[in-house]
A and B are shown apart, each in its own frame.
Chain A
């Protein structure tokens, strides 16, 4: 599954997106665990903000093929 990265997370993982293998029925929490296992992902906290299809999603959200998933670093607009 393609995961979009931004700002400090993109810098940490060295790319604006990464592909993560996720079994069918996998959740946002499963995806975060997979990302945090990657080299460079230490700055990603255990429960980062995650967006699914442009809206914030909870950890138990089940992901489906075609979902647009993004890890959201602490926001700092304004």
Chain B
């Protein structure tokens, strides 16, 4: 089992969600985050005070999936989230040791 974490541009969230549903990923967790890579921040001015803001708002999607689905999930996220401009984001893949469905107590692949 794998945990796929993707940092994407916020407005791409709906597209990515639809793409994932399309290949059979049933649930995801979404967090609003901020970060930067190569995309430049901006300057804010409040009267005489100038602030350089490096952080940009991003969205983090986490999905626990069956290892067999990994390649199609990566492809789906990449395809849906790409704009071609700097700041599109990154996908991280972690090994997932255990999954438990709280309602029923199922574990492993049945819990995905």
- Pairing of A with B: no
Which residues on A are within 8 Å of B, measured CB to CB?
none
